[in-house]
Structure 1
Amino acid sequence: MCKIFFTLIILLFTFSSHGQVSGRILNQSEMPIPFANTMLFASNSNTLYKGTITNDDGKFKIDDIKPGTYVLQVSLLSYQTWVSKPFTVSDIESIKQFPTITLLEEATSLSEVSIVAKKKLIEQTKEGNIINVQQSVLTKGSNALQVLERSPGVILDQRNNNFSLNGKSGTTIMINGKPMRMPTADLITMLSGMNADNIKSIELLTNPSARYDVDGTAGIINIVLIKNETLGTRGTFNTTSGYGIGPKQTTSFSLHHGHKKFNTYATYSFSYDDTFSQWSGIGSTENPTFGGTTFISFSSKTEQLNRSHNATAGIEYIVNENTYFGANILVNHANPTIITNNQGFYDFETDPYLEAQILLRGQGKWNNFTNSVFFETKKKTSTIGLSADYISYNNKTPNLVKSTYLDENGEEFIPDNDIYNTENRGINETDIKIGVLKADFKKTINNNFDLEMGIKGSLSKTKNQARIEILENNEFIIDDRFISNRQIDETIAATYGILNHKINTTITAQFGMRYEYWKRSFDDTSLDRNFGKLFPSVFLTKTISDTQNINLVYTKRITRPNYSDLASYLSYNSPTSVFSGNPQLLPAISNTVSLSYTYKSTNYSIAFTNEDNPIARFQVEEDPISDLAVIAPQNLQYQNSLDFQINKPFKFNNWFNLNLNGTIGLREFKILHTPQPFTHDYIHFNLNGNQTINFPKQLSFELSGWYTSNHFNGSSKVFGFGSLNMGVKKEFKNGSTLQFSITDVLESITIKSKIGTLTTEAYNNIFDVEYSPESTNSRIFRLSYSYTFGNKKVRSTKQNTNANEEKSRIQE
């Protein structure tokens, strides 16, 4: 009996001394990694002892471990293997809780079968969201502009050529962190010709840190292109054909070659897109030229024939595992032809009825060139990066306007007023040259402190020449009302510092400060601007548990008037109105405080923004000298915003995923450019959704949609609009894909606006305006095929991250 009792005591003691090992596995975006292999090896023999896989929250637990010395190994295809230092499980210390383990991404392959871990479509970071474009079924066959429009919170006002983020204007758009120095209309043309298959991700940075330029009060949209890292040669071929009202076609080709000491890559795409749009307006004006109140009904139909070429090329040379340097170029060229038919019906108070038929034909030609060189070297605790960029943009847009006037009986005649001309031509040329130098330094002080510092300088020169000539007696004569020549020189110098501090095991902080000096000189010295300002930023993160954290952020940012806003160009709109820039624009300054809470994959946030001198484009102002209505950007006095946002993914099972994103906010603003200043507030919301269904045999279906509610552009009210898109994709065993997609399934993108609802406008204008892009009149169908060939062996190399913060202010 004593032996039995003694044996039971020994067994009980033995069981109680067995240990446990647990922990949690995350990726670099601090998102959990499910199904990761966690294995215990005996450290003295490297023999596998026990193992398990992580659950949906990235957690693992290995029980019933005998006392001994072990090594924990965590691995998953497409991630670098993580190995712990040897540790001991003893009778006394039988529980080993690892701190959070972060796996670094690394693509890999097995024989001829490439296996890559799938990322989430949307990932949250403390600076914003990352959209992993290649996770969307609709990416194949799409262009960069369509992908951008489908991104949560991103709205493109196609009528006014303006991007906004979460309902706020002042958005900086970058490609690979580099500025696309061109007006928004040209940027849209370029993005329309860029194949989305070449896009890795879209970063929506609503809270950029001090390492980024502070331009863009609403934040930064950065389009990151794919750059393969392979040994040997690898290439991709894509072709897309489509049809709406006009044909669409895009062909692209990319080639990458990797060597142990260098990596080269090049891509080229050619696109043509015959697109169509129309807009109409009806209302009244009291322009003195007409001698009283005039009722006008106006309609316009535009056919745009876009032909664009986009090319990138780069080389990186690896000196050793810690040092590399290289260079890359981005070239864009387009020859858009724009044909517009305008028809206006004028019912005068004092003069006879008039019908004006106006034909505008423009033949554009623009070129954009960006060249960068970079160098980076790393030591054990520090990194130094240097870069230099040169950007050149040139745009020539001559156009010819022919006008015919009919009386109430449909008979052609020449009105008496000299504002009516039968033919005029416009000449507009913009040339921009920019140089940028940048240096960055990172230093790990200890386990709790990291330091980042940098300096940057840029010089730019902008020349703009614009004039409209009137045909008189078979000779074109310059009209003094329609002439402008302007030169703008700009200098920006910046320095920044960031301190990352781990306060304790659950709280981390980042304190940033950026100083920018800005000087802009005109040929008219009365318009010169210069100032220096400090732009602080603070990020505080509290980790509540493995699945919960809270972020508190404060940022101060600026939106400088972009070059096309300031250039005094003139573009014919009607006999009594022109489009123009505004060289007297002031920069907008914003302060934003946001609080966000993340639980697993769901993110909630609330943000308050105060913005002084926000810029509203396409506002109408009186010109008393010429009695012209000048349509130009204007400063508001202020705008305050309070926004609540939620991003919620749903994974019902392995074959059905849904992601929803929504923002609702309260806006208040004050306008000064109208005859009577006024203040207004309103509620605005936007929704974005995406669902994916995976079928057997590598077949998948995606349905996505977005909607933005009523809002205001300056004094103009814009009514809500949205779109629904769908696509089907088939993947083949050889790695190729075939996709069919439909844009704007419901033909619903109709942008309606109203001028004169809030207050008295220039010349007492009251108009209802409606704009319809091509998809409103005809759904756009596209069929796309993609094929990848060559070596699929992936290597780990250095990535160019230098000089990626220079922002464009031309494209806003």
Structure 2
Amino acid sequence: MNKLLLIVFALCIQLTYAQRPQSKAKGSNITISGKVLEAKSKQPLEYATLVLTNTETQRVLGGVTNMQGEFSVDAPAGTYDMKVEFIGFKTKPLAQKTIVENLNLGTILLSEDLETLDEVEIIAEKSTVEIRLDKKIYNVGKDMTIKGGNASDVLDNVPSVNVDAEGAVSLRGNENVRILIDGKPSALVGLSGTDALRNLPADAIEKVEVITSPSARYDAEGTAGILNIILRKGKITGFNGSVNTTIGHPDQLALGANLNYRTKKINLFSNLGYRYRKGPGNSQSFFTNFDNGVLNDYRNEDRTFDRKSNNYNGSIGLEYYINQKSSVTGSFFYRKSKDDDFATNFTEFYDVNRDKTGDQTRIENEKEDGTDVQYSLNYTNNIDDKGQKLTVDLQYGDSRETEPSLITVDDVLSEQNSQITNSISKLLQIDYVLPIGENSQLELGHKADLQDLYSDFKVRDGNGDPLENDPSNTLDFKQDIYAFYAQYGSKLNKFSYLFGLRTEITEIDLYLVNTDSFSEKNYTEWFPTVNFGYELNDSDNFTLGYARRLRRPRFWFLNPFESRSSATNVFRGNPDLNPTYTSSYDLGYNTKISKFNLGASLYYQYSTDVIQRVSILEERNIDGVLTDVTVRQPLNLNDEQRYGFEFTANYNPSKKVRLSGSFNYFNFKTDPFNFSYTSNSGETVVTELDEVNESSWFARFNSRITLPAKIEWQTRIMYRGPQDDAQSTRKGMFVTNLAFSKDLFKDKATIVLNVSDLFNTRKRESITYLYEEDDTLRSINDSSFQWRERQISLNFTYRFNQKKKRGRPEGDYDGGEEFGG
């Protein structure tokens, strides 16, 4: 186990932009470097391990190769037994050497071990955490609670990340997170990110990168940071793969396959899947209404969701190795989704004495037919053996959704609505890496990200005619972003630094056809980044980062269409939104103490023009009755300060018991703000939002215990504390997941029983207060929302030409093997 921990340590401190400096003084560290290739194809072997054993102290050190097959390990001068290992390949012993100065072992060739090849597993089954200068990498691994799940389930199990009851993803309590797939925007995220993440199977995901202090090579979008989802792609020669199936209650069926075929010249990989899910959910809103501060009446809305989803997705890619240094990869992704959703909204009306005065049943039947297509092409050229590298990416995506819906009120057809959304996206990205000397590196790059989106939203009454206050609209949205960056990094003994500067030129055109209004927002901004790392010793390291970020309002926040499931509680976009800018600071510390792995971070963010959803009341004529309608829409508020700290811990008292946990506390302060709007009567209404100075926290605990008969039992507990904002108070939420796993057929198969939300408590509960301009109370809304009820599922996975890998380090999400810089 100690050797494995040291290997992970070497992997984590492997910086892509630096090699170790020479140090020949007696008693100081020397550097052992080299490169590992596959003997037949001469392709680099990533994650090959150099193992060093000091012949005097028997201390074991190690290093792991990067994507170019290169390793660089610091060690005290001395005599060492050395060997190079890679799972499925023959171990390569090296001659014992007494090393007193820097040593380059040159190129080391490894050959496949045909006798033990069937002991290799491509799909990693261990969960590890790798610490880099600007990010943490969480390998999905053997987390049973996500088996049969989706990308939202994976993200919700990553420290610092939360996924709320509606599927909104937040990082350290901030929902403005940039989500990338394999480092780029992707059709996998689709037009509506939360729905698409639910359709991306967890089994297709290899790891998640949490980037809280992004360097200049990353998009400036996302004030909270970036979540980069890395999909699986096989690395071992021959034909291999896995198939899996999931059944569950409420109704759930999933079939999937990950297939890979690799030779000396090509690597063919694919992910195929079908998912059917019936997703029951519910919500309740109880309104207490006032007139000039005097209690007037009550209204209760009970809503149930009956959702049926059929989703087909498939991707296929081919990587062709032009020569030992360069390759071309082309891939194609296709997804077809069909949803049939019923939202039943039962409303009861009460007078001031809570005597019932009437009721209404409103049913919305919405069907969704969506298609996403994406073509990608990548060219990679490792120009030389020193790390000089050029990559070029091209990407084209086409996403289309059609959403017709019928609304009945008390069994009478009331509305016939439809929304058609088409989006074309194009991407060009060029990155160049130039090593400077032995310990420094310069990176340059350009990216063009172009989007052209058209949305047509029509609302008609039961006879097909426009409503009196017609909320229909047609939107033509274009957003072009051109980015350029440069960054320079180096390592001086135990100290690392990375300085970067990125500029992004944004051109936005927004045309609202119904009102014949056109607006454009063009701006050029600079985004500096600074990252430092210091390795105190083998077990302790510090990181410090600064980054300027922004949040551009997405098209669904700009589009002023209204949700129609409820006539009295709606959401609409705001075409006047401006971007939010944030300066973010992050200080991190990681250490290992005996069987404990501990990590801690302090962070501070200052944001301007913060985008936040607020609620207003509009008086509308509904069925001949003047009724107060709650309208939620996003607005630019004043500045916000956010600070907090997070703590992660991992403790493995034995091979059969692994415990981990994380805790995150944050405080946010928003300045007071007044906003005005024009009511339907033409009156200007001013609403004042008081200063907000509130804090919240969330915590996770995870245990994995091996029971008799080698049954794995995993328990994951999460609690999110209460939180207030300018208008609402949100209650705390407690969630528990259970899973039991058993390997079968000589480890070629695994069966997992998973219970998600054991106590059925995953609900968002909140109270919202709305006031008149003179601070007179107008309405109180006590609400709860549950997107998906408790889910029980059974997952079966069968692997062919691969078995469960035994050679990778062990760890857990919430702490893991946290070393490196």
With 130-139 and 530-539 compared, the bigger mean Cα shift is at 130-139
Q: 2:358 — aligned with what?
A: 354
Q: 2:12 — aligned with what?
A: 29
Does structure 2 conserve the Cα–Cα contact (< 8 Å) formed by 1:298 and 1:342?
Answer: yes
Q: 2:528 — aligned with what?
A: 536
Q: 2:607 — aligned with what?
A: 611
Instruction: Determine the C-alpha separation between the residues in 2 that align with 1:377 and 1:593.
Output: 35
- Match of 1:178, SS state, is coil
Q: 1:156 aligns with which of 151, 163, 169?
A: 163
Which residue identity lines up with residue 600 of structure 2 in the other structure? Y
Q: Deviations over 1:592-615 (max 9, x none)?
A: 111111112311110111111222
Instruction: Give identity over the alignment, percent.
Output: 20
Instruction: Determine the C-alpha separation between the residues in 2 that align with 1:787 and 1:693.
Output: 23
Query: 1:71 offset after TM fit, Å?
Result: 7.1
Change (3 A) 1:758 1:453: farther
Does structure 2 conserve the Cα–Cα contact (< 8 Å) formed by 1:183 and 1:564?
Answer: no
Change (3 A) 1:496 1:475: closer
Unpaired runs of 5+ in structure 1? 1-22, 41-48, 90-94, 406-420, 795-812
Q: Deviations over 1:88-135 (max 9, x none)?
A: 57xxxxx7899999x999998752541569754333333333221123
Which residue identity lines up with residue 783 of structure 1 in the other structure? L
1:297 aligns with 2:335: no
Does structure 2 conserve the Cα–Cα contact (< 8 Å) formed by 1:538 and 1:555?
Answer: yes
Residues 566-645 of structure 1: matches in 2 within 5 Å?
Answer: 566-600=558-592, 601-617=597-613, 619-622=614-617, 629-645=630-646
Q: Which one has the largest radius of gyration?
A: 1
Q: 1:655 — aligned with what?
A: 656
Residues 425-504 of structure 1: matches in 2 within 5 Å?
Answer: 425-471=416-462, 474-502=463-491, 504=492
Which residue identity lines up with residue 122 of structure 1 in the other structure? V
1:688 aligns with 2:700: yes
Query: 1:530 offset after TM fit, Å?
Result: 1.2
Q: 1:727 — aligned with what?
A: 739
Instruction: Determine the C-alpha separation between the residues in 1 that align with 2:767 and 2:126.
Output: 43
Which residue identity lines up with residue 741 of structure 1 in the other structure? N
Which residue identity lines up with residue 668 of structure 1 in the other structure? K
Q: 2:288 — aligned with what?
A: 284
Instruction: Determine the C-alpha separation between the residues in 2 that align with 1:133 and 1:731.
Output: 18
Q: Deviations over 1:318-364 (max 9, x none)?
A: 00110111211222221111101111122367999231111111111
Q: Deviations over 1:297-328 (max 9, x none)?
A: 11111100111111111111100110111211
Does structure 1 conserve the Cα–Cα contact (< 8 Å) formed by 2:133 and 2:532?
Answer: no
Q: 1:416 — aligned with what?
A: none
Instruction: Determine the C-alpha separation between the residues in 2 that align with 1:693 and 1:96.
Output: 46
Query: 1:529 offset after TM fit, Å?
Result: 0.9
Does structure 1 conserve the Cα–Cα contact (< 8 Å) formed by 2:52 and 2:81?
Answer: no
In the superposition, the TM-score normalised over structure 1's length comes to 0.82
Instruction: Determine the C-alpha separation between the residues in 2 that align with 1:216 and 1:458.
Output: 15
Instruction: Determine the C-alpha separation between the residues in 1 that align with 2:98 and 2:572.
Output: 74
Query: 1:467 offset after TM fit, Å?
Result: 2.0
Q: 1:363 — aligned with what?
A: 367
Q: 1:748 aligns with which of 753, 761, 771?
A: 761
Q: 2:204 — aligned with what?
A: 198
Q: Deviations over 1:206-248 (max 9, x none)?
A: 11111010111111122211111232222311001111xx311
Instruction: Determine the C-alpha separation between the residues in 2 that align with 1:164 and 1:106.
Output: 45
Structure 1 moving runs of 4+ over 6 Å? 31-36, 55-65, 78-86, 95-101, 103-109, 182-185, 349-352, 624-627, 757-763, 791-794
- Match of 2:282, SS state, is strand
Instruction: Determine the C-alpha separation between the residues in 1 that align with 2:220 and 2:113.
Output: 37
Query: 1:788 offset after TM fit, Å?
Result: 1.3
Q: 2:261 — aligned with what?
A: 257
Query: 1:75 offset after TM fit, Å?
Result: 4.0
Which residue identity lines up with residue 28 of structure 1 in the other structure? L
Instruction: Determine the C-alpha separation between the residues in 2 that align with 1:83 and 1:567.
Output: 64
Q: 2:116 aligns with which of 111, 126, 129?
A: 111
Change (3 A) 1:430 1:210: same
Q: 2:680 — aligned with what?
A: none
In the superposition, the TM-score normalised over structure 2's length comes to 0.81
1:549 aligns with 2:547: no
Instruction: Determine the C-alpha separation between the residues in 2 that align with 1:258 and 1:693.
Output: 36
Which residue identity lines up with residue 538 of structure 2 in the other structure? D
Instruction: Determine the C-alpha separation between the residues in 2 that align with 1:401 and 1:649.
Output: 51
With 24-33 and 569-578 compared, the bigger mean Cα shift is at 24-33
Does structure 1 conserve the Cα–Cα contact (< 8 Å) formed by 2:703 and 2:715?
Answer: yes
Q: Deviations over 1:355-390 (max 9, x none)?
A: 111111111111222211111112224111111111
With 253-262 and 536-545 compared, the bigger mean Cα shift is at 253-262
Q: 1:388 — aligned with what?
A: 394
Which residue identity lines up with residue 372 of structure 2 in the other structure? N
Residues 2-81 of structure 1: matches in 2 within 5 Å?
Answer: 26-30=9-13, 37-38=51-52, 52=58, 54=60, 72-73=82-83, 75=85, 77=87
With 628-637 and 117-126 compared, the bigger mean Cα shift is at 117-126
Q: 1:224 aligns with which of 223, 230, 235?
A: 230
Instruction: Determine the C-alpha separation between the residues in 1 that align with 2:77 and 2:455.
Output: 73
Instruction: Determine the C-alpha separation between the residues in 1 that align with 2:660 and 2:191.
Output: 31
Instruction: Determine the C-alpha separation between the residues in 1 that align with 2:330 and 2:405.
Output: 38
1:771 aligns with 2:771: no
- Match of 2:13, SS state, is coil
Does structure 2 conserve the Cα–Cα contact (< 8 Å) formed by 1:325 and 1:376?
Answer: yes
- Match of 2:11, SS state, is coil
Q: Deviations over 1:465-517 (max 9, x none)?
A: 1121113xx55445442211111111111000110022x21211100110001
Aligned pair count reads 728
Does structure 2 conserve the Cα–Cα contact (< 8 Å) formed by 1:717 and 1:757?
Answer: no
Change (3 A) 1:137 1:35: farther
- Match of 1:177, SS state, is coil
Change (3 A) 1:510 1:183: closer
Query: 1:574 offset after TM fit, Å?
Result: 3.1
Q: 1:339 aligns with which of 339, 342, 351?
A: 342
Which residue identity lines up with residue 747 of structure 1 in the other structure? N
Change (3 A) 1:225 1:183: closer
Query: 1:64 offset after TM fit, Å?
Result: 10
Instruction: Determine the C-alpha separation between the residues in 1 that align with 2:60 and 2:796.
Output: 37
CA RMSD of aligned residues (A): 3.9
Query: 1:462 offset after TM fit, Å?
Result: 1.2
Does structure 2 conserve the Cα–Cα contact (< 8 Å) formed by 1:38 and 1:52?
Answer: no
With 694-703 and 715-724 compared, the bigger mean Cα shift is at 694-703
- Match of 1:353, SS state, is strand
Instruction: Determine the C-alpha separation between the residues in 2 that align with 1:177 and 1:699.
Output: 36
Q: 1:806 — aligned with what?
A: none
Change (3 A) 1:480 1:265: same
- Match of 1:215, SS state, is coil
Instruction: Determine the C-alpha separation between the residues in 2 that align with 1:271 and 1:403.
Output: 32
Instruction: Determine the C-alpha separation between the residues in 2 that align with 1:353 and 1:399.
Output: 29
Which residue identity lines up with residue 491 of structure 1 in the other structure? D
With 50-59 and 461-470 compared, the bigger mean Cα shift is at 50-59
Instruction: Determine the C-alpha separation between the residues in 1 that align with 2:78 and 2:225.
Output: 51
Instruction: Determine the C-alpha separation between the residues in 1 that align with 2:201 and 2:423.
Output: 26
1:788 aligns with 2:784: no
Instruction: Determine the C-alpha separation between the residues in 2 that align with 1:60 and 1:390.
Output: 43
